[in-house]
Amino acid sequence: MTTYVIRIWKALGSIELAIVLLLFLVADLVWGFFVLESGRSPFLPLNDVGLFEWAQTYGRVHIHYTLWFFVLLPLLFLLAINTFVCTTIRVYGLFKNRSAFAGWGRFFLKLSPHCMHYALILILLGDLSSYLLALTVPNNILTLGAGVRIRTTDYLVRLDSLDVAFKKEMRSSSRRSRAIDATARLSFTDGKGAVVHSGVISVNNPLWFKGFSLHLKDFGPQTPGGGMGGKPHVNLIVRKDPGIKLYLAGTFLFTAGLFMYVWEWIWTRFRKDERL
């Protein structure tokens, strides 16, 4: 029985399986690429409604366009299993032979691929958690002084002020100005109307509040005096995403592993040249 389990464990972590899975993933993603290029994409609501709901509605109805994605999910799952088993076997081996390394630095650098492998699993887990657990409210339009309720809470978010930065276009002879950024001041009030928090949001600079992140999706006016009768407004995406921290942790760990790997690669080459 134990031998049987060990054999399955080793087969799951084999490098041959990793190669086959990666090649299947390439083929599947190329298929997905052509589907997405065809312009029929039912994926837009995926980030808003979550994986379960999306799979049962858009995913199932447009199966011709989403089948590649449903193939992708088990492939990624198998890759995560393969990566975990393969790298755990090798990390165990490295720690067992720790004394064979000249120093901690050299040993530490040898862990770099495994750092990236574990990071990949974190990224996949984070992404899966986001798709299963995140709450997204994609369109929250606020005009000056107006507020909207943050879903599932009693808090209101209100637009207090909006400053739009314009830039003259260099490409046209008319040299019109158009908006390149906006800074909005938001305040949050509780059920009794008391301001509990306020902050500034701009393009690519979200604001965090009680586990929610608010992103500036759109704003107006986009030209001086234009849009919605020149009335200043913002459109916010409000998200509560418990998977994002895991996802970002994976990204940072992968980046650290990557730098260690490149560092070791340069160091090894340098040592080789020295010997020559």
Write out the residues near another protein by the rule CB under 8 A.
15-16, 18-19, 22-23, 25-26, 29-30, 32-33, 36-37, 41, 43-44, 46-47, 69, 127, 130, 136, 167, 170-173, 179-181, 203-206, 213, 215, 217, 237, 239, 241, 244, 247-248, 251, 254-255, 258, 261-262, 265, 269
Q: Report the distance separating Cα 139 and Cα 117, nearest Å.
A: 37
The least CB distance from residue 47 to another protein, in Å, is: 4
Phi, psi (degrees; rounded to nearest 5) at 185 = -100, 125
Q: Report the distance separating Cα 80 and Cα 162, nearest Å.
A: 45
**Closer residue to another protein, CB minimum distance, 191 or 263:** 263
**Closer residue to another protein, CB minimum distance, 49 or 104:** 49
The least CB distance from residue 171 to another protein, in Å, is: 4
The least CB distance from residue 169 to another protein, in Å, is: 9
**CB 165 within 8 Å of CB 184:** no
The least CB distance from residue 154 to another protein, in Å, is: 22
Q: 3-class DSSP state for residue 86?
A: helix
**Closer residue to another protein, CB minimum distance, 2 or 173:** 173
**Closer residue to another protein, CB minimum distance, 19 or 146:** 19
Q: Name every residue whose Cβ is closer than 8 Å to that of residue 128 and which is 6 or more positions away in sequence.
A: 51, 243
**Closer residue to another protein, CB minimum distance, 195 or 262:** 262
- Burial class from Cβ neighbours inside 10 Å (0-12, 13-18, 19+) for residue 143 reads middle
The least CB distance from residue 193 to another protein, in Å, is: 27
The least CB distance from residue 113 to another protein, in Å, is: 9
The least CB distance from residue 160 to another protein, in Å, is: 21
**Closer residue to another protein, CB minimum distance, 3 or 172:** 172
Q: Name every residue whose Cβ is closer than 8 Å to that of residue 159 and which is 6 or more positions away in sequence.
A: 142, 143, 144, 145, 146, 147, 184, 185, 186, 232, 233, 234
**CB 126 within 8 Å of CB 243:** yes
**Closer residue to another protein, CB minimum distance, 23 or 200:** 23
Q: Report the distance separating Cα 100 and Cα 93, nearest Å.
A: 11
Which helix (H) or strand (E) is 252 found in, with range? Answer: helix 244-275
* Other beta carbons within 10 Å of 158: 17
**CB 185 within 8 Å of CB 160:** yes
